[in-house]
Structure 1
Amino acid sequence: MKTCFYSCFYRSKLRKHYKLKGGGCGDCMLHFCCETCALTQEYRELQNRGFDMSIGWHANVEKNQGLAMAPVVEKGMSK
């Protein structure tokens, strides 16, 4: 029961990072009603974006430097 709240948080974070549609209450309900389905969707989304789940998180960060971190946004006008 407690794990669905953690995984719901990461699903929302994933949506925000990749600008995916949906979110909010739907994410929480999906994790509460069918945790396995929600985690499978997230796994496939990351896999389609070039992550290799078999090598672990840290190896993926090293392998996909541009994918694992949000882009830097400069503020204001440059000249």
Structure 2
Amino acid sequence: MDNQQQDTITLHNQQQQDITMQNQLQQEHQSQDPRHPEHEWQSSLFNCAPCGTCLLSSFLPCILIGRTSGRMRDPSMETFEEFNSECLAFCGIQCLTGCGWIYSMMKRGEIRDRYGIKGSDCEDCAVSFCCSCCAMIQQDKEVKWRTAGLAPITQGYQSQKEGLQMPAPMMQPEHQPEHQDHRPMQQPPMQQPPI
């Protein structure tokens, strides 16, 4: 087998490995893609424990919504404030229109999308309207479970000091007839313009 055939076989094997790796990466990406949810809620809709969370959802649901949203932003709860923007938004919507369940439904959809939980917008609507307290408890417990042990995201984009590093292209050696000269071509010297 000559060198050209070996190079062709090597190139073919490399292409097959690249295709296999691309397929694996696509499968991994699809499993993490919210459009392809795989997960279930970690607790039942009607599991209203712990008692403190149950009381919050019944009497001060705005604080529970704010706490759940705050935990999504900062899992360590270091920067959490009881009366944050989500708490005030829910409270305002509930007091002015009586439709706080719509805000809860939107947050439920956000949680499902972020964590790849099975469900639909119609289910979110029905659960949030009919069992608003239970839905908020389930959402809070889900976010607490999913973010356990995670640190807050405190730093934004960090620029790289070295810039983008590209590997040198791999060149296939070309077969040249033996009678050709192997010296590199010389370029003419550049002339400087007169000043």
For the aligned pair, the TM-score class normalised by the smaller chain equals 0.5 to 0.7
Mind listing any 5+ residue stretches in structure 2 that lack a counterpart?
1-97, 154-195
Aligned Cα root-mean-square deviation (Å): 2.4
Alpha-carbon distance in 2 for matches of 1:15, 1:50 = 14
5 Å-filtered alignment, 1:1-79, equals 1-50=98-147, 63-65=151-153
CA displacement at 1:38 relative to structure 2? 0.2
* Cα distance per residue 1:12-70 (max 9 Å; x no partner): 0111111110121111110100101100100110110125xxxxxxxx9xx332xxxxx
TM-score, normalization: structure 2? 0.27
Aligned to 1:54: none
Alpha-carbon distance in 2 for matches of 1:17, 1:47 = 13
CA displacement at 1:3 relative to structure 2? 0.4
Question: Which contiguous aligned blocks of 4+ residues in structure 1 show a shift greater than 2 angstroms?
Answer: none
Alpha-carbon distance in 2 for matches of 1:44, 1:23 = 19
Alpha-carbon distance in 2 for matches of 1:18, 1:27 = 15
Aligned residues: 57
Which structure has the larger Rg over C-alpha atoms? Answer: 2
Mind listing any 5+ residue stretches in structure 1 that lack a counterpart?
52-59, 66-79
Alpha-carbon distance in 2 for matches of 1:23, 1:10 = 13
Q: Tell me the amino acid that sits aligned with residue 64 of structure 1.
A: P
Q: Percent identity?
A: 33
Question: Greater share of helix residues, 1 or 2?
Answer: 1
SS at match of 1:64: coil
- Higher relative contact order (CA closer than 8 Å, sequence separation 6+): 2
